[in-house]
Amino acid sequence: MKLLKNKKRREVLESSLQQARKDPGSTKAKILMVARRIFGDYGFHGTTTRMIAREVGIDVSTLYYHWGEKGDLYEAVVLDINQDLRKKLIELEGKIRGFPLGKRMEIAIDVMVDYLFSHPEITSVILSRYFLKTRCKTDQNIQLPEYISNIAFSMELSKNRKKVPARSKMQVLAILNAIYTFVSGAEFFQASLGIERGEYVSLVKETLRFVLIPAFDKPTSDARGKREEK
Amino acid sequence: MKLLKNKKRREVLESSLQQARKDPGSTKAKILMVARRIFGDYGFHGTTTRMIAREVGIDVSTLYYHWGEKGDLYEAVVLDINQDLRKKLIELEGKIRGFPLGKRMEIAIDVMVDYLFSHPEITSVILSRYFLKTRCKTDQNIQLPEYISNIAFSMELSKNRKKVPARSKMQVLAILNAIYTFVSGAEFFQASLGIERGEYVSLVKETLRFVLIPAFDKPTSDARGKREEK
DNA sequence: CTCCTTCTCCATCATTTGTTGGAAATAATA
DNA sequence: TATTATTTCCAACAAATGATGGAGAAGGAG
């Protein structure tokens, strides 16, 4: 019964989301957009429905009319963000096809860092979902999005697209999280390093290339071989 | 005037902290311990003073008696955590002295991952401070702890211990954040990978070694040389 | 114009949350 | 022991917060 209700709720939510994505000018869509940003900035508990409503320029009850409980809106935000990310990654996969792994990573870092910096709420929401508990029963499905596996496959870390070993997923996570933290922490790091935004962004790219590429760009290197068959 | 007040507040806070650290059995210290955990789990806004008090087994007003406002307690937690981390890193520096860089990193990963897994609130608090805003005027000094520079120096990423270039700090941050996310995200990642805790911990270490060491373990490699003088 | 659906706002409620005053208990000091 | 300082709890408050019911607007269909 409870499961049924949950399923129903999910369906309603998905159709709401679809609706919002179809008409980006609608109030529903505007709420979603603002909610993404504010949930990203302040986290679930740091965000109040009134903050979102005020920013959109509507009454809170209108917000509730469109999205139901706060937890539902948050869930919609998470779903929405994952869809965006998925789309972007598919687009990226097309761009890097054919290049050797090192070059592919270079392009991927460049494209993804630019994209995420222009939508910083994506990384913040993902990160805070990874490791902040929520007092309410939002009870989200703790599950890694499927694109993790796709990346692993497209990086040749797995033979089988459907059955990707945990080790490979972890490697992908290491890469993604490195990017995420630099994007979400931009304000903090930038301020404490005392540098401008442009400089920070290019420094992020440089650092990511420096740290991440060597591990994957040496298919014949002893380091990789050793660890792979361990 | 406001600055003076802030300074005063900081002094009071530091002495409170010292007091708590001296007598770990005191109520003050117990509050701090519990506060670390709960702030780590739920973030600043997700944590209520009542949650902390209940867990300690005292009334909220006792909590306020010892630590003042919620924001002050949070600040104490951050300070406390940074002190712990600093101590641990100094200890670590002794252990790795003399080894070549690759080996040093291997040891450092092993030691730090074990330590942080046994105090997961450390990484959570640090991360959520990096990229979550807070609605109140906690107004914390946005500043990277000094041990970032120390690590950079001890990894030979900088000639001068006092003047570490931003590039080197970023590299250290990449390393630390990779570790932090795996520790703080343990519950999430473990569950979605469907593995046991022990397995997860060793997989974290393996992944970190695989991803992080190659970049630093090749002082003569073209990759490093190229990027260094860019 | 009238009916009906969709949407928006105002007013309001019950809880939760941060915070405090003051009474009691406990410990320290004389 | 008497007195004073420290610590703890109870009760309470104001503000903030999640959430709702119902009265109207807006707009299209007949």
What is the DSSP annotation of chain A?
A: -HHHHHHHHHHHHHHHHHHHHH-TTSHHHHHHHHHHHHHHHHHHHH--HHHHHHHHTS-HHHHHHHH-SHHHHHHHHHHHHHHHHHHHHHHHHHHHTTS-HHHHHHHHHHHHHHHHHHSHHHHHHHHHHHH---SSTT-------THHHHHHHHTTS-S-SSS--HHHHHHHHHHHHHHHHHHHTHHHHHHHHT--HHHHHHHHHHHHHHHHHHHHS-TT-HHHHHHHT-
Instruction: Look up the domain containing B178 and give its range.
Output: 9-228
What is the domain count for chain B? 1
Range 22-81, chain A: CB under 7 Å to any strand C atom? 27, 57-62, 65-66
Provide the sign of the torsion angle of the four alpha carbons A125, A130, A135, A136, taken in this order: positive
pLDDT band at A10 (very low <50, low <70, confident <90, very high): confident
* CA of A33, C1' of D29: distance in angstroms: 33
Higher pLDDT, A168 or A226: A168
CB–CB of B130 and A181 under 8 A? yes
| Domain contains B49 | yes
How many CA atoms are closer than 13 Å to the CA of A30, on its beta-carbon side? 12
pLDDT, position A75: 95
Q: Is strand C less than 7 A from the beta carbon of A135?
A: yes
Is residue B3 one of the residues assigned to a domain?
Answer: no
Residue A136 sits at the chain B interface (C-beta within 8 Å): no
Which pLDDT value is given to residue B136? 84
Residue at B73 is within a domain: yes
Instruction: Flag whether residue B41 sits within 8 Å of chain A, measured between CB atoms.
Output: yes
From B146, which residue of chain A is nearest by alpha-carbon distance? Answer: A192
Q: Residue B1: inside a domain, yes or no?
A: no
- pLDDT tens, N- to C-terminus, chain B (230 residues): 445 567 778 888 999 999 999 999 999 999 999 999 999 999 999 999 999 999 999 999 999 999 999 999 999 999 999 999 999 999 999 999 989 999 999 999 999 999 999 999 999 999 999 999 999 876 667 788 889 999 999 888 999 988 999 999 999 999 999 999 999 999 999 999 999 999 999 999 999 999 999 999 865 444 443 444 33
pLDDT per residue as tens digits for the range B173-217:
999 999 999 999 999 999 999 999 999 999 999 999 999 999 998
Mean pLDDT of the residues in chain A: 90
Question: Does the pLDDT of residue A80 top 80, yes or no?
Answer: yes
Asked whether residue B183 is assigned to any structural domain, the reply reads: yes
Q: Is the CB of B134 under 7 A from strand D?
A: no
Q: How confident is the model at residue A140 (pLDDT cuts 50, 70, 90)?
A: low
B144 in a structural domain: yes
Domain at B125, CATH number? 1.10.357.10
B193 touches chain A (CB under 8 A): yes
